[in-house]
Structure 1
Amino acid sequence: MKLLIANLCLLTPIVAEGSDKKEQFLRDTPGTYVDSSGQFFIHASMPLNFLIQAGTQEKQAHTLGHQKDPKNKEPIFLSEHGPHKFTLRDGKRIFTFPFYVDKKAPSIDISFSKANSMTHENRKIFGKGLSISLSASDRESGLHKIYYRLNQEAVQEYEKPIAVEKQGKYRLQYFARDRVGNTSDLGVKIFEVDTTPPKSVHKFVNAVKSDKQMVLSQLSKINIGSTDEESLVSRIDFQITDQKKKPVQQGVFRTPLNLKTLKMGAYTLSYYSIDQVQNREDKVTTNFFVDTLAPLHDLVFNQDHTQKGRTDYISQRTKIALKSSDNVSGVDRVEYALDGSARQPYQNPFSPPPKNGFFSIDVLGEDKVGNQASKTFKSLFVDRGRPTVSFLIQGPVYQNGSLYYVAPQSKLVLNGEDKESGLKKIEYTINNEDYVEYKSPLRFDDDGSFTVEFKGLDFVNNMSPNRKIDLFLDDKKPKIFHRFSSSPIGDREHQGKSLDVYPTNTSLFLGASDDHSGIDSITYSLNNKAAIVLKEAMIPLTEPGLYEFKVFAKDRVANMTSETIRIFITSPDIRAH
């Protein structure tokens, strides 16, 4: 005889997690299970019928009815979890049939591994390499299988750790089922996978692009920013190397990088960021140049400029331009001040101060990355004074009013002086011809009047007032004339020449004339004696004898003429023949 417990059941839905009903795959699948020891397990919801079978033929089996109503063969349900038994008494013999009612679901655990993780605003975020392990246990009938569903995929049996490789948002549902069909509560894990590294960018503060490179100064800063849409940035690592690839700064970026210690030259900045789940971006590199030199300043004068020693001389007409240069980042602004006045922006060439003498210019320049330099120009001189000019006549000269009489050998020397910038040149014109530059003393060849005008120019082109001089070239000799107070009384032979003979007490009258400058002096010598300046026109001749006069007449510019007069003086009673 056999006692059979039939496995006949109708599934009943179980409510879980706030939903009205479990999904189809979560419903219990009541059943029975016999383990290797022969232990019989039955799901608590299974209906129990008691069948007695005589012999070995199933057709000989019979379902027993209830004791009070043998015809009532409705199944019974056991509600208590745990071991149960059926007992059959046959006289003194007792037969026990044990079995186990299993109404407890398996317990299930989940673990995440092989990936970094973080929690942000109640979001669980994992990095690359995420592996999800599910484990379950059941102390009664034993674990049958573990199931899971990732997002909207189909439910599948868990066999090995779940690898989640793609970036995205995930909803993992999982449960376990024991060998009699008890199903665990549905486990749900909502998480995100971030496999994308952060993205970093840099910004140069106080920088300028020049010749396809970024130029910075020691005043500049470097900011590095990074964003990560999923797991947030953990840190930014950076390094600055010089031209020899030697690191000059490196570390974790926290505040804007200061370049005060960097020398003039080219550098490379490299950096990368890492997010909270250790996604690391590719290294970013960029080159830049540190300019430590401030602009250089110089002055440019548009006209009227000369330099003597260290002093620059200019005129009031001069315009001063500031020439500032910076061959790296370029000049940004220039300011200047005259003689200690307030600085003002330089825009256009300007005039010097309206005074005669030294002045200064203070120049402040700044390049496009903030390098500043000032320079004071002190050796500047405004020359507002005019040159002075004069003349000198070398050689014979005679002045009559404003007219100067000169001789052919006379020279006109033009002189000039300038106490500031210095005399550059003297120009002159003769009789209103074109001005020419004076180089050497002037001489005149043709007899007549000449008007010379001349002026001086200093090295900043200040011009003296015109000077004028009227000249007359006197190249004519004076004319000597003489007469005697008596008439000749005869003649006498002397050295082959016939000479007039005059009586004693005859007087000689000497004179001279000049058409231009006039007679300066008349001198004579008698019989080769010392010359005598003629003071009175009449020369008495009282002694008999030979008289030989050598007469010289000179005009006021040293033109000279001479004449020899030979006569005999005799007593009246002696007749010349």
Structure 2
Amino acid sequence: MNFCITKKNIAFVALFSLYFSTTLFSQEQLKHTPKMYKSSDGKLYMNKSQPMYLWISTSPGNESEKIRLESEKHKKYSNPFYFDTEGYNSIRTPWCVDTTTKQVIYPLEDIIFEVYADSRPPVSKITYDKSKVYYRDKKAYVAGEVVIKISANDELSGVERTLISINKEPFKDFTGEINLKEEKEYFIQYYSVDNVGNIEEIKTQTVVIDLSKPKTYIDVKKDKYENIVSGKTHIEILAEESGSGIEKIFYSIDNEPEKIYSKPIPTSLLSEGEHTIKFRGIDRVGNQEDNNTYEFYVDKTPPLIVEEIIGNKFISNNIEYSSGRSKYKINAMDNKAGIKEIYYSINNGEKKLYTEPFYLEEGKGKITIRAFAIDNVNNESTSGQTSQANSKMYVDLAGPSLIHKFDGPFFSNRDTVFISDKTKITLQGTDKESGMDYIEYSINNETMNRYTEPFSIEDNGLTNIHFIGYDKVGNSNNSNFSFYVDSIAPEIFVRYSVNPIGNKTILDKKMEVYPNHVIVFLSATDDKSGLMNIKYKINNSAQKIYSEPISNLSPGRDYKIEVLATDKLGNMSNKEIEFSVN
């Protein structure tokens, strides 16, 4: 900015008001008033944000009369006026005049008054005397006592002062350096002010003094029991989250050279037996932990399984038969970690937890029992083979299959079986496993008898047979059946279509006489099993099945008819009739 003044021998003074508040508030900036500043090299600096006024006087003394300059042309912008340029500005008048002769100096040259306008605050920066500083989450971590320094720079008027607040205390002048010794977190606020009152915004920095050694520990996620681990797990070395945090973890197994830990250590790479891991951590500011020691045993051996059968057995043809009353016992032994659980499955079925010997009720015949023993670090062994039950043992859980048969006349009507007194009753049992032993039976709930051969029932009426069959290992099965014994033959009836017309006697045998159109009707009844058929023959002729009334008899002849009635069980009755046809 340039101002031109045409009057000679004029001195000017720029004046402005200063305001300053001395009231201090915790964490609040102090009051800093914009002002003018003349540096040691004679340069005049003004705060660019402040209004400017020009005064003129004919004498350099402070007590001389001063008149404020006003612009006739630019009244609106001259009282006050503002510098528009950051840095160098000028107030000038043409031309230079000799102070003695009062004549213009040639060559012509303006009189220039230099003024520097400054609106930019200083820039401050915090530094530490430590070579290793770790920044995380806007916090600076340092190890041990630290000296803090704050440097500030201002491009124009220069830095007047730097102020600092620690842990929310009121701001005070920063005088050179600050020592932080105690292990804790420090909240630092700071800013600088330049010589014309430009104020830097408050900067913050949290500084954490970390004197603590890191803490590392061993973590085994699974397959661990006390200090025993399996060969399928991984050993992790972890660090507690505190202070500056872990930077590196070093470890050594069984006194081998140290390595940097980067991932879980697989125990599959270690031999079975005792091992030792030594490990330590270094945090991000250089604090080092003393060596830790973890001693452990790698157990890769699964348990040993021993199986046995408890209970009744029957041996035939080198096959050992056992009934459903037999129990299966599983024993397991482990070399180190100890047995945790035993499971078993029958015929590849669902796994079940083994707690005690169990009955072989779920299998039948040749069965496969698999036992699974798990130790306390989850090493698992499987019997992996068909147990004795497959090769030398046959589990017979079922009793014999029972049937009965009738040898002789019998037939069924609805739900009732009819037999005769001559029908033989046969009881049979079969057992394809351990084999059939014997059968017992009772008639109408009377005493049980050992069955040895087929038998018959003489008494007519309803009869119930209950019988039990036993196999060689004591399994049993029972059955019941009922039947009706019928030994009574049918009753025969003869009817004539007309009444006799007379009688006659031949050889002392009285005989009825019927007309030649007579018809003979035959019938029979059976109370239980029912009639099967009626047969007849006339005068020693061939026997016929009765199917229709007998008619067309020749007159003048004597007739003898022999009738045979049979029921469905073969019970038979017969009857003879004699008569004469006129």
TM-score by length of 1: 0.45
Whichever of the two has the greater Rg, that structure is: 1
TM-score by length of 2: 0.44
The structure with the greater share of residues assigned to strand is: 1
